[in-house]
Homo-oligomer: A and B are copies of this chain.
Amino acid sequence: MSEYTPTPRTQVRRLPDRGHYDSETVHRILDEGFLCHVGFVVDGQPFVIPTGYARVDDCVYLHGSAASRMLRTLAGGVQVCVTVTLVDGLVLARSAFHHSMNYRSVVILGRAHAVEDRAEKLLALSAFTNHVVPGRWDAVREVRDSELKATSVLKILLREVSAKVRVGPPKDEAEDYELPIWAGVLPLKLTAGAPVADPKLPEGIGVPESLKNYSRARG
């Protein structure tokens, strides 16, 4: 298990017990999630935009239309923050003050760089596709050169990274525990419903195995 070295910018200062810097914790959160929030700055104004991502080894890839304002901004090597948050539950305490959430989050600071190498671009695109649905890359029509050209891929190395995790029941004031107020956790989970076929799908094409009992939970 390798460690990311906390920096003054990634060290969890309040409630330091919640901070984690080992690659196992960080990778597991990144692999269970699939939506990140990307922060970047334009003319002093921060923007936070939701987008897909995939982790490969010790980096995350983002992608989007080559025409996208965000992708073009990020490709310029500006400072970026990529945050992934998994919500695990609502924590209901006896006082409003101690209400909380159970969650796991990863914050990545760094700079994005455009991936130009064709092989690495293909690797990243297959990672995006398989990250969302395992095995999907081999199940779909082969990518075209024009599509590859129209897609920007960005890479951010996992260097300045921290995870934050809260688990368990509420922590109440000692004297509040005897109050007749229900307290505990309401677990929350992103769950999949039954697959909805495209109305234009020809008859006789069955739902792939990978979509049955779909779950994001990872090892």
Which residues of A come within 8 Å of B, CB atoms? Answer: 9, 13-14, 35, 37-42, 44-50, 52, 65, 67-69, 79-83, 85, 87, 89-90, 92-97, 99, 101, 103, 105, 107, 109, 125-126, 128-129, 132-133, 136-137, 139-141, 143-144, 147, 150-151, 169-170, 172, 176-202, 205-208, 211, 214
Contact status A46-B81, CB under 8 Å: yes
- Return the contact of A186 from the options B13, B103, B182, B214 (Cβ within 8 A): B214
Knowing A48-B38, A190-B87, the reply to whether A151 touches B97 (Cβ < 8 A) is: yes
A169 to B201 CA separation, bound complex (whole angstroms): 10
A206 to B208 CA separation, bound complex (whole angstroms): 42
Residues on B with beta carbons closer than 8 Å to the beta carbon of A139: 181-182
Q: A195 — nearest CB in chain B belongs to which residue?
A: B186
Knowing A169-B198, A186-B211, the reply to whether A141 touches B94 (Cβ < 8 A) is: yes
- The CB with the most chain B CB atoms within 10 A, among A103, A132, A206, A211, is that of A132
Contact status A45-B79, CB under 8 Å: yes
A41 to B35 CA separation, bound complex (whole angstroms): 22
Residues on B with beta carbons closer than 8 Å to the beta carbon of A94: 140-141
Contact status A187-B194, CB under 8 Å: yes
Contact status A190-B188, CB under 8 Å: yes
Q: Assuming A44-B79, A185-B198, what are 17 further A-B pairs, CB within 8 angstroms?
A: A9-B45, A14-B68, A37-B50, A41-B44, A46-B79, A95-B140, A96-B136, A96-B140, A96-B143, A97-B150, A139-B181, A172-B200, A177-B200, A177-B202, A178-B202, A182-B195, A182-B206
